Structure 1
Amino acid sequence: MDRLIYTAMTAMNAAMDRQRVVANNLANASTPGFRQEIFAVTPATLKDGSLEARAMARGNVRGADMTAARVVPTGNPLDVALEGEALLAYQAPNLQGEIYSRRGDLRVAASGVIENGEGLAVLGESGAPITVPPGFSIAIATDGTIMASDPAAPTAPPEAIDRLRMVTPGGSPLAKGIDSFLKVPGGGVLPPDPTARLTTGALEQSNVETAETLVQMIDAQRAFEQRAKIIRTAGDLDEASSSLMALR
């Protein structure tokens, strides 16, 4: 009986993990450029020479759904929407390595560093954060070039100070961790995409479908309740077996 309970318990854990993933997707339904997480449950069958009648459930995030989402004009010249499959490179929160996203709500921080709405520093072609000279205004070209203008010299042409590091995920492994960031497993980096283009004054929305995600959440909850019912049934069977043994 303990085998049945343990098997059902692993399925309950997988169902709980699925609920967390679905809840995270739903919470980011309005986050620009968000890519919904794909959850997968893998059965792990115990092989000991006997009948393979038990399978433990292991659930984890398999990756991200890279399906493109709709692009909405915003009128903000620093908002960018990437075309094709290109990704923007950002500095990791722990300052180690780089992470990737389609989120393009850019702004200039008080320190002069260009960052997105989440506060992540945007990387330039050299792999370092892009810094705007104090007091300069910037514009972003369709190829990602950052053009800076000095208000003190209105007749001077804008100067290119850097270019957004836009990379291609094609042919490279890409994983999505529990922190929701896209990254290369093992700390690697994606190659730059010199042909990448973007649209300014617009943002790509999240590719999470709210109605579909709500259905997934209900399904995950029902799966959890079904496993809990199996455990309760196992307990009832165990009590019935004990009662029969007591009659002897």
Structure 2
Amino acid sequence: MEKAIYESMNAAIKLLDKQAVIANNLANISTVGFKESFNFFIKDKNVRNLYKTYDQDVREYYNFYPGVLIHTQRKLDLVIKDNGWLAIKDINGQEAYTKNGHIQINQEGKLTVQNHEVIGNHGNIKIPNNVNLKISSNGIIKKINKTKDSIIESTIGSLKLVRLPNNNLIQKENGLFYLKKDNLNKYNNILHDSSVRIQTEMLEASNVNPTKNMIDMISNARQFEMNMKIISICDQNTEYANQLFNINN
């Protein structure tokens, strides 16, 4: 009886965790560059709990398949191709990575993505006021001066673009991706990868599949109700057993 209650409650807790992941996916359907996530539960046969059942290791995985490309005709919008990433700083100054290429210029002349400063390949990037900008496919930012006779381009800076294996990345609550802790030493000094290419005047939409996530949410809700019913039945059986015990005494 206790084992059935324990396993049902454990399953219900894991279903709630799944629902939280799905809810986060659905909440970010319209977030540029968002990557869908999901949980896998893997049994560890080497670890047994109090009721001699196998423990389960929860592992979070991400769907890195590209989202739909949206044409914006805005020069500071860009798509980072393939498994390339744009390097930015989080609020703590730590380097993080994103597929969100909706770049803005703040009041200080810095490039930002969702208020996070974009990291330059050769130091900080400072954008002068009232200039025409062009971002090349290799991430180089140029200022364009047009005269009657010619067009003069001068380099302002360069975006830091990196390429990392997807299985070395983990997403935090701020929506940004980071290197897993066990890989920090291996990739302590991540250099700009000149082979990464971008495409401007476009954005990559979220790759969340709303239909699939809604179906999964309904399925999880039904499984949760089933586990709650099992717990309720076990509780009723215990109550009946106690009543019979009292009658016999």
TM over 0.5: yes
Give the aligned length.
242
Compared CA separation, residues 7 and 113, structure 1 to 2 (3 A): same
- Alignment partner of 2:225: what SS? helix
Q: Structure 1, residues 81-117: CA drift from partner, whole Å, max 9, x if none?
A: 122211111101222x21111110111111111012x
Q: Name the residue aligned to 2:153.
A: 158
Gaps of 5+ in 2: none
Within a 5 Å distance, the mapping from 1:101-140 to structure 2 comes to 101-116=98-113, 118-126=114-122, 128-140=123-135
How far apart are residue 7 of structure 1 and its match? 2.4
How far apart are residue 57 of structure 1 and its match? 5.1
Gaps of 5+ in 1: none
How far apart are residue 228 of structure 1 and its match? 1.1
Compared CA separation, residues 103 and 51, structure 1 to 2 (3 A): closer
Identify, as 1 or 2, the structure richer in strand. 2
Within a 5 Å distance, the mapping from 1:18-29 to structure 2 comes to 18-29=18-29
Compared CA separation, residues 191 and 65, structure 1 to 2 (3 A): farther
CA RMSD of aligned residues (A): 2.7
How far apart are residue 244 of structure 1 and its match? 2.1
Q: Distance in 2 between matches of 1:171 and 1:236?
A: 49
How far apart are residue 28 of structure 1 and its match? 0.8
How far apart are residue 134 of structure 1 and its match? 3.4
Q: Distance in 2 between matches of 1:194 and 1:172?
A: 21
Q: Name the residue aligned to 2:85.
A: 87
TM-score of the superposed pair, with normalisation by structure 1: 0.86
How far apart are residue 10 of structure 1 and its match? 1.9
For 2:197, give the aligned amino acid.
R
Q: Distance in 1 between matches of 2:212 and 2:166?
A: 30
Contact 2:83 2:163 in 1 (8 A): yes
Q: Name the residue aligned to 1:216.
A: 216
Compared CA separation, residues 171 and 39, structure 1 to 2 (3 A): closer
Q: Name the residue aligned to 1:226.
A: 226
Are 1:42 and 2:39 counterparts?
no
TM-score of the superposed pair, with normalisation by structure 2: 0.86
Q: Among all aligned residue pairs of Structure 1 and Structure 2, give the percentage whose two residues are the same amino acid.
A: 24
